[in-house]
Chains A and B, each alone.
Chain A
Amino acid sequence: MIRALSITKGIHDWLYSIMSENVAHFVEMILIALVYLAIFAIAGLFLVLLERRVAAWFQLRIGPNRVGFKGLLQTMADALKLLSKELTGTEKADKFLYNLAPYFVIITALMALAVIPFTQDFQAFDINIGILFLIAISSIGVIGILLGGWSSNNKFALIGAMRSGVQTISYELSIGLSLLTMILITGTLQLSEIVEVQKNGWLIVQGHIPAIIAFMIYMIAGTAETNRAPFDMAEAESELGAGFHTEYSGMKFAYFFLAEFINMFIIAAIATTVFFGAWLSPFGITESIPLLGVFWFLAKTMMLVFLMMWFRWTFPRLRVDQLLTLEWKYLLPLNLMNIVIMALIVWQNLTIQF
């Protein structure tokens, strides 16, 4: 079902009044898709700029500040430059898969965006298996990376792709299990209901100790899932040049690049939804104005995005075997234990409710 924000109700009614139900439904879907594409592009470009400014701040630099007001149009200019660049490729690449790969990555990122609850009813999809859908979709993204690395007929790209495959499959477990820990409290996979439960207190407060552990595991696994430092095995520029996207140029490269940032946004957005009460304001101070929920949601998400950027610009990179050791020997057992603790807490009604 497509639910729309109350301000779009006018458009909705008007569409249904001038055309038949099926056509209106279809037109509405296209309109919503366009809105999400716009969100995607703006969020992606904004996050790239944010990363550059944050990096500059960490690195005693100023960062881009010339194009537009305080450098706000810098990434727009970069995107234009990438659009106008020649699409080079390798001679012996598997052309079909090589061209397909960036779309895999970008489409999955876009699909995951659809279930994110920006505020009350501002959600393209509200399916009852929302969390499962997110986990499933985010694992498809790695296929794009694997295909891209494999089909470009470059050994550096291949190593990068294989590393990414190993990494994503491993850390998927941690993401799934840490979210599952929280599902024990909510008892539902539907994102809107998860938010509803949190009206009695954000889940990180409700679930106290195991929730905090789950959150930490989620952030570590989420950073790994998006192939960002300190888990940027797939790119590892000092080892593999550019990793899986070595042979991509122009807009195809930009797709990989944008998808990385959108994935980071999605990981932070899921954490906001599941741990920090999504669009709910702290202590319900702006409960009466649902539109302000967008502000709260983005503010919380940006805090988490900043945390991930902080990781990236301070930590050295792990080695590939240490990456797997961390997951299989430490995070996974800890996670399983955490689920049991959470189950006990929920069973004994030890959660903190307001």
Chain B
Amino acid sequence: METTTVETNFKSEEYFINMGPQHPATHGVLRLLLTIDGEIIKKVEPDLGYIHRSIEKMCERDSYQQIVHLTDRMDYLSSNINNEAVCLTIENALEIEIPDRVKVIRTIIGELTRISSHCLWWGVMGMDVGALTTYFYGFRDRELINDIFEETCGARLTMNYNVPGGLMFDIHPNFIKRVKDFIVHFKTKLPEYDRLLTGNVIFHKRTKGVGILTKEDAISFGASGPVGRASGYSCDVRKHHPYSALDKVTFNEALNTEGDTFARYIVRIQEMWESLSIIEQLIDNIPEGEHRVATNAVIKLPKGEFYQRVETARGELGVYVISTGTKNPYRLKFRSPGFSNLSLLNHIAVGGKIGDLVATMATLDLVIPDIDR
């Protein structure tokens, strides 16, 4: 077919727009430098550092017990799992044998944290695609988990519940009953999530085929967590390198092959079901025993390098410690899932509309303090 170019006086040019650091869709203080042609995204350049607090540098100054408290402030939605990661690193380095009770409680608390984080993500995801009501449904269920945490460890967001050697306190006597109540409650509410958002035609239109990430790209960008698994990359640390009591339970790794925004959404919904099943398997079998083994008041790690990975709600969190045998780490590095997941945003968002960018970013589930640290 012959194509003819029509001369017009209209000049079309790309323009630049700042999305953030204060913008409803960036969930905090992420700044995106967007190059846009009309509505079509040409380039996305994340600008980081607005909430950088030098947590890794502060770790070099602090004792090992103090480091645990800093990690709450990284990915604040999976604070328990962050705590657990540091505690596991220290315990493995010191070769302390942890009681089974602690392991089981840590796993239950970790999975509850994952559900609460996904609840919040689900609410915010709905809000980002324009369905404001989901936010309140997500928060309704998250609130129950927060109440359970509050009763057991006295905090709702930054728990500080794990300490090197075990747990700060034993679980509250009501804990088991309340968790069981929550499981019953949440099993009736998760289908409600599907009815409200998952089955919606507009939602399908907004998410299917949007922001496609192939398996190869997922691996090369270092994607982890639900983002990687939605592209068919089996990367669940809980499955491949089980820690705490995760080797005692059976669960399916939520996998999907589509790699689009909808796949990432579905993977997270499935993960909530899987987490519920893990908690169900463990909640009746919490062994009796100590909630903590005594450690030295001043923990000194042996000389060497230690690495521990855990699966947070966002993906793989790695803790890498270099110790020279003193009471502080010589160097401590966190491999945060959000940072790698953000790095692929430009790759999958280019070519889409502004609305697609927002929907895609919502399923990456970014927590900015986790990226900036």
Contacts and interface: CB of A to CB of B under 8 A. Distances in A.
Contacts of B17: 155-156
B24 A316 contact: no
B353 A321 contact: yes
B121 to A, nearest CB: 14
Interface stretch (A22-30, A57-65, A254-262, A281-289): A57-65
B196 interface: yes
A5 to B, nearest CB: 40
Contacts of A354: none
Interface in A159-173: 159
Contacts of B135: 59
A58 B126 CA distance: 14
Contact of B356 (A236, A317, A319): A319
B294 interface: no
Nearest to A314: B133
A156 B200 CA distance: 28
Nearest to B17: A155
Contact of A159 (B25, B127, B205, B354): B354
Interface string A16-41: 00000000000000000000000000
A318 B205 contact: yes
A315 interface: yes
Interface in B15-57: 15, 17, 23-25, 39
Interface string B322-355: 0000000000000000000000000000000111
Nearest to B210: A319
Nearest to A237: B24
A314 B131 contact: yes
B206 A315 contact: no
B175 interface: no
B193 interface: no
A19 B353 CA distance: 63
A94 interface: no
Given A58-B133, A314-B196, A316-B200, A238 B206 contact: no
A229 interface: yes
A140 to B, nearest CB: 25
A59 B129 CA distance: 17
Contacts of B355: 236, 239, 317, 319-320
Contact of B202 (A60, A232, A241, A315): A315
A58 B136 CA distance: 9
Label chain B's interface by main secondary structure. helix
A348 interface: no
Contact of A316 (B15, B203, B354, B356): B203
A58 B132 CA distance: 10
A239 B133 contact: no
B24 A241 contact: yes
Please indicate which of the listed interface residues B25, B202, B358 has the most CB atoms of chain A within 10 Å of its own CB: B202
A241 B23 contact: yes
A321 B40 CA distance: 11
Given A316-B203, A319-B206, A239 B136 contact: no
A320 B130 CA distance: 13
A240 B133 CA distance: 19
Interface in B267-322: none
Nearest to B135: A59
A155 B15 contact: yes
B130 A229 contact: yes
Contacts of A88: none
A328 interface: no
Interface in B126-184: 126-133, 135-137, 140
B266 interface: no
Given A156-B17, A238-B128, A322 B133 contact: no
Contacts of A241: 23-24
Nearest to A317: B130
Interface string A133-167: 00000000000000000000001100100000000
Interface centre among B24, B130, B206 (most CB of A within 10 A): B130
Contacts of A156: 17
Contacts of B23: 241
A103 interface: no
A279 to B, nearest CB: 34
Contacts of A317: 129-131, 202, 206, 355
A241 B17 CA distance: 12
A61 B136 contact: yes
Interface string A304-337: 0000000001111111111000000000000000
A313 B353 contact: no
Interface of B: 15, 17, 23-25, 39, 126-133, 135-137, 140, 196-197, 200, 202-203, 205-206, 353-356, 358
Given A238-B127, A238-B128, 20 more contacts: A59-B133, A60-B136, A155-B15, A230-B130, A236-B355, A238-B24, A240-B354, A314-B131, A314-B133, A316-B129, A316-B197, A316-B203, A317-B131, A319-B205, A319-B206, A319-B353, A319-B356, A320-B354, A321-B39, A322-B206
